[in-house]
């Protein structure tokens, strides 16, 4: 089953001439033909374009030098990353037919590495959601149980990788939107440090929180993809000018002597017993590998959710003001004047969750309420970051559950936004503080995947990957696949 091979396995096979790039891509496209109708991971497919690029890679003369590092590897992009001449919808009616005139920086970098884009994946509309049920175009289902959600907002990317419909995918993470679906779908998902990966060409949700990252089959693939998407970009004003690293070089360093913090606030009320047991077992495994684990406190964690929804919604209300029906995207019909066109376009073009957050954010920024809400949320953000800084003075990384629950049933939380928001309670603090974090599979509860979250110091992706790899290699969870 080529479609379940990792990128590093496929690259070795291609270099040894055991397979061709066309065979790799055809295998994934065949898998899409077989299971996409059950999963609904993709919004737009580019199969013909993908096969054409694979053939070009195969026709490269043998004397023409080495192939690019990820030559022929089939990948998918979350549909909020711009792709020239391929539509980018953000799973919203308002951008249903939008075709960007340029590529996101991450896409250009992966193209140069030889990757082959097979399609754009489904998501919660404008990345606002935790289940991919808020997509304005269609639902996506979890490959482990199609009666359940894949998580969100990068649910399409996670489901595509978990079901063999892509070797890896990129997602975006504003409050857990890579790590939470990775946990619910049983794959690896990483949110890099804020500023590590260019956001140029990523359709903005909350600009001070958004970050692009990979969803992969295993930790080594995660490191490989990071090698190519990290790095300074002059087109992104928040991009950090930091030398490139080879994240694969130190993977096998182990965790002996590593100081691991276990925050008590992440194991309290609201976490399912099965999730707690699997994560506690993973901590014991790390200790068995030589890590030194100790309990710590992150006292302002309880305020993270409230602060996040004020800050992110405020930034969303500003970022989404550009969708007015004039310059691009959907425009309502039957309006009487300019103001009526604005109102009807935005009312018809945005879904319920997006409108909810725009209204919340506009209220928080309005005259008389700015200090009481937005300014106070930013002060809480500072306190949350200070909690992490204090813990990292004496510890190398922090460990926690990725999600308090396994994948929940489709429709179960749609009528209760607060319960849906609580799905990201363990991932949101990481975005608020701008830290890197990774989710790796750590077992199953009720037959569904559970994710272990490792949180690192700023720009400590290499150390995080090393710890995640050591844990992964002591288990078999990353080798298990759903029977779709």
Q: Which residues are catalytic?
A: 78, 153, 177
* Exposure string for 424-433, b = 16+ CB within 10 A, e = fewer: bbbbbbbbbb
Name the phi and psi angles at 270, rounded to 5.
Answer: 100, -15
8 A C-beta contact, residue 171 and residue 192: no
d(CA 167, CA 178): 16
**Taking a C-beta distance cutoff of 8 angstroms, is the pair 370, 362 a contact?**
no
H/E element, 85: none
8 Å CB contact between 179 and 157: no
CA distance 332 to 346: 8
Structure tokens at 176: 């857990």
- The answer for residues whose C-beta is within 8 angstroms of residue 251's C-beta and 6 or more apart is 219, 220, 223, 465, 466, 469
Task: Give the C-alpha separation, 226 to 239, whole Å.
Answer: 15
Burial 163-173 (b: 16+ CB within 10 A, else e): bbbbbbbbbbb
Q: For residue 453, report the phi and psi dihedrals to the nearest 5 degrees.
A: -100, 130
Burial 132-151 (b: 16+ CB within 10 A, else e): bbbbbbebbbbbbbbebbbb
Other Cβ atoms closer than 10 A to 80: 32
DSSP letter (8 states) at residue 398: E
Distance CA 427, CA 437 (A): 9
Contact call for residues 303 and 437 (beta carbons, < 8 A): no
Q: Is residue 49 a contact partner of residue 111, using CB atoms and an 8 Å limit?
A: no
The helix (run of H) or strand (run of E) holding residue 180 is helix 179-185
Q: Label residue 147 left, alpha or beta by phi (over 0 means left) and psi (-120 to 50 means alpha).
A: alpha
Classified as helix, coil or strand, 293 is strand
- Residues 6 or more apart whose Cβ sits within 8 Å of residue 269: none
Cα 140–chain centre separation:
15
Residue 189 · residue 178 · CB < 8 Å: yes
Ranges of H-type helices in 265-402:
273-288, 304-319, 338-349, 352-365, 376-392
């Amino acid at each position: 089953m080529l479609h379940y091979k990792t990128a590093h396995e496929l690259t070795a096979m291609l270099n040894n001439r055991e397979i061709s790039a066309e065979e790799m891509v055809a295998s994934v496209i065949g898998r899409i033909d077989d299971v996409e109708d059950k999963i609904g991971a993709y919004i737009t497919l580019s199969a013909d374009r993908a096969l054409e690029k694979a053939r070009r890679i195969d026709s490269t003369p043998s004397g023409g030098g080495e192939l690019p590092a990820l030559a022929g590897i089939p990948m998918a992009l979350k549909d909020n990353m711009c792709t020239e001449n391929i539509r980018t919808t953000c799973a919203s009616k308002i951008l249903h037919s939008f075709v960007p005139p340029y590529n996101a920086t991450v896409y250009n970098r992966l193209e140069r590495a030889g990757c082959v884009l097979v399609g754009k994946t489904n998501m919660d509309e404008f990345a606002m959601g935790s289940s991919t049920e808020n997509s304005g175009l269609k639902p996506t289902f979890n490959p482990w149980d199609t009666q359940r959600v894949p998580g969100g907002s990068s649910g399409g990317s996670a489901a595509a990788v978990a079901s063999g419909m892509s070797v890896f995918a990129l997602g975006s993470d504003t409050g857990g939107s890579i790590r939470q679906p990775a946990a619910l779908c049983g794959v690896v998902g990483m949110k890099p440090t804020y500023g590590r990966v260019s956001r140029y060409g990523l359709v903005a949700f909350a600009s001070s929180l958004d970050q692009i990252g990979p969803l992969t089959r295993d930790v080594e693939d995660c490191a490989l993809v990071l090698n190519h998407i990290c790095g300074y970009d002059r087109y992104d004003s928040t991009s950090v000018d930091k030398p490139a690293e080879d994240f694969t070089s130190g993977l096998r360093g182990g965790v002996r002597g590593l100081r691991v913090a276990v925050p008590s606030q992440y194991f309290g009320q609201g976490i399912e017993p099965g999730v707690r047991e699997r994560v506690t077992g993973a901590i014991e495994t790390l200790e068995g590998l030589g890590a030194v684990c100790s309990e710590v406190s992150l006292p302002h964690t309880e305020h993270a959710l409230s602060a996040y929804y004020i800050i992110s919604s405020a930034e969303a209300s500003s970022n989404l003001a550009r969708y007015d029906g004039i310059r691009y995207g959907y425009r309502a019909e039957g309006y009487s004047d300019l103001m009526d066109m604005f109102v009807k376009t935005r009312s018809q073009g945005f879904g319920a969750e997006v409108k909810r957050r725009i209204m919340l954010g506009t209220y928080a920024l309005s005259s008389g309420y700015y200090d009481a809400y937005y300014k106070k949320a930013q002060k809480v953000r500072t306190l949350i970051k200070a909690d992490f800084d204090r813990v990292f003075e004496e510890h190398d990384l922090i460990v926690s559950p990725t999600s308090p629950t396994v994948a929940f049933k489709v429709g179960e939380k749609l009528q209760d936004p607060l319960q849906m928001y609580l799905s990201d309670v363990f991932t949101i603090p990481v975005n608020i503080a701008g830290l890197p974090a990774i989710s790796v599979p750590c077992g199953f509860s009720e037959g569904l995947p559970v994710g272990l979250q490792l949180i690192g110091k700023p720009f400590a992706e290499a150390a995080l990957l090393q710890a995640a790899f050591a844990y992964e290699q002591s288990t078999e969870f990353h080798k298990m696949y759903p029977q779709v």
